[in-house]
């Protein structure tokens, strides 16, 4: 590609972007982009802004020197295929339940990074030492509401009659499902009934919001 015009028209076609759309992105009149795409232009004072808008290497757009795309930065590489999830505390669980666990309906001040495949998860701050030393008081638990809780898994359970939420291990005692704490000195196991709700499975425990 011999000039700016050829490189610009090439990348617009590759990205399926119109000249008008590009003009809006860099806040110029459409006639500016139309001219650059039709005049065999060698340069433009808008080259850097156009390169940023099209996410291409400014040097390639200006001179034709490759690569067309700059290498991904370490930060961008880390965030690729990642998602941010909200973190709640136990006092917000009743409100979350009333809103069918629609996270945007409940205020939250903190977020945590997870793999993109876990974007439907949410974080919950462990409220006590019932699961010590597996999960410390204050640890951030990543909970997946779409994953089945099986025997010996850890999860968030709602005891409907008592209207309480608990972090517990799902166990099977005398062919009946129980929720069992790790710290049995201060906390007791209990059977769960058919009306109790399993909110989600704990897929990760963290000591911070990172």
- Residues 85-135 pLDDT 10s: 999 999 999 999 999 988 888 888 788 888 888 889 999 999 999 999 999
Which CATH superfamily is 77-206 part of?
Umud Fragment, subunit A (2.10.109.10)
- Per-residue pLDDT at 79 exceeds 80: no
Nearest Cα residue to 168 out of 151, 147, 185, 145: 151
Mean pLDDT of 73-95: 82
Q: Say whether pTM exceeds 0.85.
A: no
d(CA 92, CA 81): 29
The proportion of the chain whose per-residue pLDDT surpasses 70, expressed as a percent, equals 94
d(CA 153, CA 201): 7
Band of pLDDT at residue 74, cut at 50, 70 and 90 = low
What's the pLDDT at 5? Answer: 95
Higher pLDDT, 188 or 206: 188
Mean pLDDT of 165-176: 96
Q: What is the mean pLDDT of the chain?
A: 91
Q: What are phi and psi of 127, to 5 degrees?
A: -90, -10
The domain segmentation of the chain, as residue ranges, is 4-63, 77-206
Q: What are phi and psi of 124, to 5 degrees?
A: -140, 135
Three-state DSSP state, 14: helix
What's the pLDDT at 54? Answer: 94
d(CA 74, CA 98): 41
pLDDT in tens, 46-61: 999 999 999 999 999 9
pLDDT in tens, 194-204: 999 999 999 99
Q: What is the DSSP string of 135-185?
A: S-TTPEEEEETTS---TT-EEEEEETTTTEEEEEEEEEETTEEEEE-S-TT
What CATH architecture applies to the domain 4-63? Orthogonal Bundle (1.10)
């Amino acid at each position: 590609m011999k000039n700016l015009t050829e490189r610009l028209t090439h990348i617009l076609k590759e990205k399926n972007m119109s000249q008008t759309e590009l003009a809006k992105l860099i806040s110029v009149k459409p006639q500016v982009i139309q001219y650059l795409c039709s005049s065999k232009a060698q340069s433009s004072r808008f080259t850097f802004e156009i390169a940023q808008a099209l996410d291409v290497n400014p040097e390639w757009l200006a001179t034709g020197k490759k690569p067309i795309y700059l290498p991904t930065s370490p930060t961008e590489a880390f965030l690729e295929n990642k998602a941010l999830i909200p973190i709640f505390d136990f006092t917000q669980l009743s409100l979350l339940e009333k809103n069918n666990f629609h996270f945007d309906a409940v205020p939250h001040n903190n977020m945590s990074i997870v793999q993109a495949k876990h974007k439907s998860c949410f974080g919950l701050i462990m409220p006590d030492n019932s699961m010590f030393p597996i999960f410390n008081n204050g640890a951030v638990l990543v909970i997946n509401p779409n994953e089945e809780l099986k025997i010996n898994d850890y999860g968030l359970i709602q005891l409907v009659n008592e209207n309480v939420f608990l972090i517990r291990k799902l166990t099977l005692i005398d062919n009946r499902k129980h929720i069992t704490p790790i710290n049995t000195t201060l906390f007791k196991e209990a059977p769960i009934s058919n009306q109790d709700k399993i909110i989600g499975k704990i897929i990760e425990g963290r000591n911070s919001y990172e």
